[in-house]
Amino acid sequence: QFSFQENGWGASLAERLVRKCDVVNRGLSGYNTRWAKLILPRLISKSTGAESTVAVTIFFGANDSALKDLNPKQHVPLEEYAANLKSMIQYLKSIDITEDRVILITPPPLQESAWEKECLAKGDKLNRRNATTGEYAQACVQVARDCGTDVLDLWTLMQKNQDFSSYLSDGLHLSTKGNSFLAAQLWSCLEKKLSALPWLLPYWRDVDHTNPEASLL
C-alpha cells in the first residue's frame, strides 16, 4: 500500500514505465497471505485485463511471520504461508498469467530494536523476530523454485555484508533508501520482461502536424 507514496518503490517503477504500461498498486496494509488469497480474484481477473498483464509481484511475509502468541491476528503458520503463495500463483496461471510473469518478493529483514520501540509505544511486546522472518523468506524462495517463478530475496540481499537498519523506517517498513533498493533490484528482474515494450503513441516530434490522424489513429 505504501509503495505509491513519495519515493515509494511502486512510484519509482511507474515513473520508469510511463508511456509503456500502467503500474497498478493493489497493496493492502497489514494483510497476510490468508486474506490475500481470498481477495486475489477480486483484484485481478480475466475481465480486468489479465491477458495484457506483463508482470505481477507478490510481496508477503512480514505480517504472516508475526509471532503467533503476540500477534495472532496477522500470524499465518509457515506451511500455510507457502501453500497460500502457491495457491495465488496457481490462480494467476488459471487466468493465463504464466509463472514466467510472476515475481515473488520475500519480506525484508526485521530490525528488532527499532521495531520493539514501536511496539512498546503501543503498549505491546516485540511481536516479530528477524530469524522467524528469515524462515518465511526461505519458504518464499522455495515456493518460487517449486513453481518456476522469479524471486527477489529481499531478506538476504539487504543483510549482505552491511547494517540494514537504514533500509527500514521503523524496523519493519521500508525507508526511502529501502524503497530505492527494492526498486533497483526489482527493475533488474523486470527489465528483461519489459524492455521490448513499445511507447504508447509516438513522440510528439514524430507526429505529422499537417495530418495528425495519420500518426495518431
For each of the domains in the chain, give its residue range(s) and CATH number, in order of start: 2-215 (3.40.50.1110)
* Residue of 169, 167, 106 whose CA lies nearest to 133: 106
For the chain, strand residue ranges (E) read: 56-59, 102-105, 150-152
- Helix 130-147, helix 78-94: angle, nearest 10: 30
pLDDT of residue 42: 93
Q: What is the pLDDT of residues 37-94, one digit of tens each?
A: 999 999 999 887 777 899 999 999 999 999 999 999 999 999 999 999 999 999 999 9
**Alpha-carbon Rg for the chain in angstroms:** 19
Q: Is the pLDDT of residue 5 over 80?
A: yes
**pLDDT tier at 100 (50, 70, 90 boundaries)?**
very high
Residue 157, Cβ density class (10 Å: 0-12 exposed, 13-18 middle, ≥19 buried): middle
pLDDT of residue 55: 94
Are 115 and 61 in contact, with CB atoms under 8 Å apart? Answer: no
